[in-house]
Chains A and B, each alone.
Chain A
Amino acid sequence: MTGPLGDVWVYLSATPLLWLTATLVAYLIGVTLFGRLGRNPVVQPVAVAIVLLVAVLLVSGTAYDVYFDGAQFVHFLLGPATVALAVPLFSQWKRVKRAVLPMAAALLAGSLTAVVSAVGIAAMLGASRESVLSLAPKSVTTPIAMGIAEKIGGLPSLTAVLVILTGIIGAMTATPLLNLLGLKDYAARGFAVGVASHGIGTARAFQVSELAGAFAGIAMGLNALATAVIVPLLVRLFG
């Protein structure tokens, strides 16, 4: 691009403002679409935003690093948001205290299922070793999953993508799947979604009820711990 428009582009590309704003705009488009289409969980705002942004970056010939320089301010908030889960957790504390045993059992079973099934299916279908290792922590929230992947020889940036796809799949399909199983306990439903699909699943659970959201948040936190222990152990045993 040349001329005044080109100059503005060069100027904007050098500041975080452009891609930070673009990230928020893309997400808002996703949220609006979600509202317009009757809050159907199939229209996940996060998925809409990612598709739009990738298209814009490809068309404008912008590298991911340049984009992330701006978008990192949003990415950074994952940390404080994780801490903020203490608030709904406290609000639901009485309910949580009564469910310690079910939670412990569901966590152990769910965490093992997530790792073993993902690794097993991918390996059986001939995925490369790097991809299989990157898949192992896919049910855990992004920053933690990336740390685990790095430790065991996966590709952290691929893991981030697989984690987010897992979240989107969980958010899109959890409600019909749990209805199919005939489960009406919103603590159990929330917990299962949190174990399987971390923060994106938790965001979906909060749309359904605060109870489900609180249990999803706990599950997300606990599964981060459980997977951080289980995955390196399994890799050492079977790797």
Chain B
Amino acid sequence: MIAALTILLSCQLAGEVLVWLTGLPVPGPVLGLVILLAGIGVTGRIPQDLRETATGLLSHLSLLFVPAGVGVMLHFERIGTEWLALLAALLLSTWATIAVSALVFVGVARMVGGADADAPEDEGPR
């Protein structure tokens, strides 16, 4: 697990440094993801240790949002006066975004005949 965490943190660090050096409008961890993906792509395999740690972290991804979410207590007053506008915006916009993204994805996939709706699940390289 320590080796895997070191890999993840190193990639994140490299991502942050690259963003700082280049001024790209890209978040450091996202660039870190690209770096790790390139690294795995070059070696052609995922070390067992890394797979287990990554799966562990990702299976509880929503836990990581709890501390920021508790910050809702700082905004009770604003939410009290603007709750209707905020709630309507969040609900309708989230639903519209899911519907538009999914329909466009499926529509374009059908047009180009690539990943069509009936394609069997592909597990990819293991």
Task: Please indicate whether A and B come from the same complex rather than being unrelated chains.
Answer: yes
Binding site for B on A (CB under 8 A): 23-24, 26-27, 44-46, 49-50, 53-54, 57-58, 64, 67-68, 71-72, 74-75, 77-95, 98-103, 105-107, 109-110, 113-114, 117-119, 121-122, 125-128, 131, 135, 138-139, 142-144, 147, 157-158, 160-167, 169-171, 173-174, 177-178, 181, 183-189, 191-193, 195-197, 199-200, 202-204, 206, 209, 211, 213, 217, 219, 221, 224-225, 228-229
Residues of B85-115 at the interface with A, using a CB-CB cut-off of 8 Å, are 85-86, 88-109, 112, 114-115
Contacts of B90 in A (CB 8 A): 118, 135, 138, 162, 165-166, 169
Contact of B114 among A74, A102, A173, A211 (CB under 8 A): A102
A81 & B126 in contact (Cβ 8 Å cutoff):
no
Complex interface bits, B33-51 against A, C-beta within 8 A gives 1, otherwise 0:
1101100110000100011
Give 8 closest A-B pairs by Cβ, nearest first: A110-B101, A71-B67, A125-B85, A192-B102, A82-B29, A196-B97, A192-B101, A87-B54
Looking at the assembled complex, report how far the CB atom of A164 sits from the nearest CB atom of chain B, in whole angstroms. Answer: 4
Looking at the assembled complex, report how far the CB atom of A27 sits from the nearest CB atom of chain B, in whole angstroms. Answer: 5
- Whether A158 touches B8, Cβ cut-off 8 Å, given contacts A54-B72, A147-B27, is no
Question: Whose C-beta in chain A lies nearest to the C-beta of B110?
Answer: A102
Looking at the assembled complex, report how far the CB atom of B39 sits from the nearest CB atom of chain A, in whole angstroms. Answer: 8
A53 & B98 in contact (Cβ 8 Å cutoff):
no
Looking at the assembled complex, report how far the CB atom of A230 sits from the nearest CB atom of chain B, in whole angstroms. Answer: 11
Q: Does B124 contact A (CB under 8 A)?
A: yes
Looking at the assembled complex, report how far the CB atom of B126 sits from the nearest CB atom of chain A, in whole angstroms. Answer: 7
B124 & A158 in contact (Cβ 8 Å cutoff):
no
B27 & A102 in contact (Cβ 8 Å cutoff):
no
CA distance A173 to B25 in the complex (A): 31
State how many residues of chain B have any CB contact under 8 Å with chain A: 83
Looking at the assembled complex, report how far the CB atom of A193 sits from the nearest CB atom of chain B, in whole angstroms. Answer: 6
Count of CB-CB pairs between chains A and B under 8 Å: 358
B25 & A161 in contact (Cβ 8 Å cutoff):
no
CA distance A106 to B98 in the complex (A): 10
Question: Whose C-beta in chain A lies nearest to the C-beta of B41?
Answer: A90
Looking at the assembled complex, report how far the CB atom of B19 sits from the nearest CB atom of chain A, in whole angstroms. Answer: 11
Complex interface bits, B115-126 against A, C-beta within 8 A gives 1, otherwise 0:
111010111111
Q: Does B22 contact A (CB under 8 A)?
A: no
Contacts of A107 in B (CB 8 A): 101
Contacts of A189 in B (CB 8 A): 102
Contacts of B60 in A (CB 8 A): 27, 203
B32 & A83 in contact (Cβ 8 Å cutoff):
yes
